[in-house]
Amino acid sequence: MLLHIDGSKHRWLNDDRWYDLIVILDDANTEIYYAQLVEEESTRTVMAGLREVIEVEGLFCAVYSDRASHFFVTTKAGEKVDKHRLTQVGRALKELGIQMIAAYSPQARGRSERNFGTWQGRLPQELRLAGITTVEGANSFLRKRYIDEFNAKFSVPATEKGTAFRRTGRADLNWIFSVQTERVVDKDNTVAIGERSWQIDKMRFRSTLAGSTVTIHEHLDETVSIRFGPHVVGRYDCSGEKLINATPKERRGKGGSMEAGENQRQVFTGSHTPLEISLKARDSHFPTAPTTASVLPKRKAKAKTKTSKAAA
């Protein structure tokens, strides 16, 4: 199953303001799964759209996009993308087993380009007739009304019936769809990105993390979490103030017991292919003892030979 994701910059609100409209649609029937106006198409706004589609519809096989820097790393302009160097979006989709496919020309993205031609001709007029002049109002209008109307008018039946979406039981999407950066903790038990710095408290299992490598997660809701291995060692709001009302699930983080429980659920639900481990007996370095003790046969007593006394 292939989805297209793309953005179109336009004066959607019938004034001098320019916004990007991010749209995610189905390659098979052109059904729209996501459409929202944002200030700019970026790593975070693209992640927000992909996450919403996965939460509502499920996992899919592949996503087709242009070669924007939030999708792919391109060493030189015009050359092929570097598939070994992942962006934040690429890393998140790889964790979910979703393939990324790059388009190398506008013609290759013809379906998205034609779709945006329709959007640019219709959406501004619909917003004008509805008296909507704000981004918040436009996005609410898209979710509650316009996407359904658009699909009813322009989507086409797929060649095969049914859906290729796979429901996901992943409980760690908040961690996967975050901007992740590794940093080494300073001697004063702080960690920083640019001009932003966070203080890590002492923990039960360790007095300081100075010299250790931690992962900073900048979440889509603008909160920040810091993880050391499976342990969440700090949570902060968008202004850097510490959050102390973390739920047990948030405290466990991606690598703690929540992840272990998730992996167990995936084995039974079939969302991931189980390991093919043969059910043969384990090899042992020691000889196998019999299960029941055997009785050894008694040794026959040697026959006593009578010696005749020599004749005097």
CB 50 within 8 A of CB 177: yes
HEC profile of 181-215: EEEECCCCCEEEECCEEEECCCCCCCCCCCCCEEE
pTM of the model: 0.75
**Is residue 299's pLDDT more than 90?**
no
6 beta partners:
23
Q: How far is 28 from 309, CA to CA, in rounded Å?
A: 113
Q: Which domains does the chain have, with CATH numbers?
A: 2-154 (3.30.420.10), 173-266 (no CATH)
* Percentage of residues of the chain with pLDDT beyond 90: 55
What size, in residues, is the chain?
312
DSSP 109: G
180 beta partners:
217
Q: How confident is the model at residue 279 (pLDDT cuts 50, 70, 90)?
A: very low
Q: How confident is the model at residue 222 (pLDDT cuts 50, 70, 90)?
A: very high
